[in-house]
Amino acid sequence: MANDGDLDLNTLNDDELVQQVHDDLYDGLKEEIEAAVHIFLKRNWTPYDILTKALVEGMRIVGVDFRDGILFVPEVLLAANAMKAGMFILRPLLAETGAPKVGKMVIGTVKGDIHDIGKNLVSMMMEGAGFEVIDLGINNPVEKYLEAIEQHQPDILGMSALLTTTMPYMKVVVDAMIEKGIRQDYVVLVGGAPLNEAFANSVGADAYCRDAAVAVETAKAFMAKRQGSVLAKK
């Protein structure tokens, strides 16, 4: 439904509101997205459901029309801004579990790539699952990853890439870790729409994460393994 600002989002039922969020994301309507997120929260939706059913699905639809040449970069940027505004409201709620820190992760989008919505989502979900996350942002050269690893001594290094032209850069980072003799000290997880498991293997990552939920599960599994091997050595 087109939203010229006169539509009272409160009058919509849940299904209609989800549909409206998809339409408003498509139209890049930041304030309407913020209002809808607040309404869902008042209706006791979990932050995770708001993220996945309303925001992520809306962005998926944007992605399809971007691919098909129906939407262009400026429109997609507006949609991305609206999406980020919604995520900004949800971020503290997702992180609010009060769980003890289960591990530390450094994450960033690789050099040449400025896509950060998926990476931000992974950061948020990881924080929500009790991880400390150091987010390096976008367009990270290998030096930036290495510096962050040295400074923060994480358990996990996460890399994101959304372009087929930038995803090979993950191998540059893994190779630099091998060269420094530190590859085995960290778990390397990679993700992004064009990746798959075979690609993750080919760049020498420990695992490919299809989405943010898989990233959390995979990170937890590796932490359990790491903690198990530390205990076994004692």
- Give the binding site for ligand B1M (CB under 6 A): 56, 59, 62-63, 66-67, 73, 76-77, 80, 107, 112-119, 121-122, 158, 160, 162-164, 189-194, 209, 211-212, 215
Query: Between residues 12 and 80, which has the closer beta carbon with respect to ligand B1M?
Result: 80
Is residue 119 packed enough to be buried (19+ CB in 10 Å), middle (13-18) or exposed (0-12)?
buried
Structure tokens at 143: 């030096």
Q: Which amino acid is at 136?
A: L
Query: Closest CB to ligand B1M among 36 and 209?
Result: 209
φ, ψ (nearest 5 deg) of residue 137: 80, -145
If the CB atoms of residues 36 and 200 are measured against ligand B1M, the closer one turns out to be 200
CB count in 10 Å sphere of residue 73: 8
CB of 10 to ligand B1M, least distance (A): 27
Separation between Cα atoms, residue 20 and residue 230, nearest integer Å:
50
Give min distance, CB of 228 to ligand B1M, in A. Answer: 21
Task: Tell the smallest beta-carbon distance from residue 188 to ligand B1M (Å).
Answer: 9
For ligand B1M, which is the closer residue by CB, 10 or 70? 70
Are 159 and 129 spatial neighbours (Cβ–Cβ below 8 Å)?
no
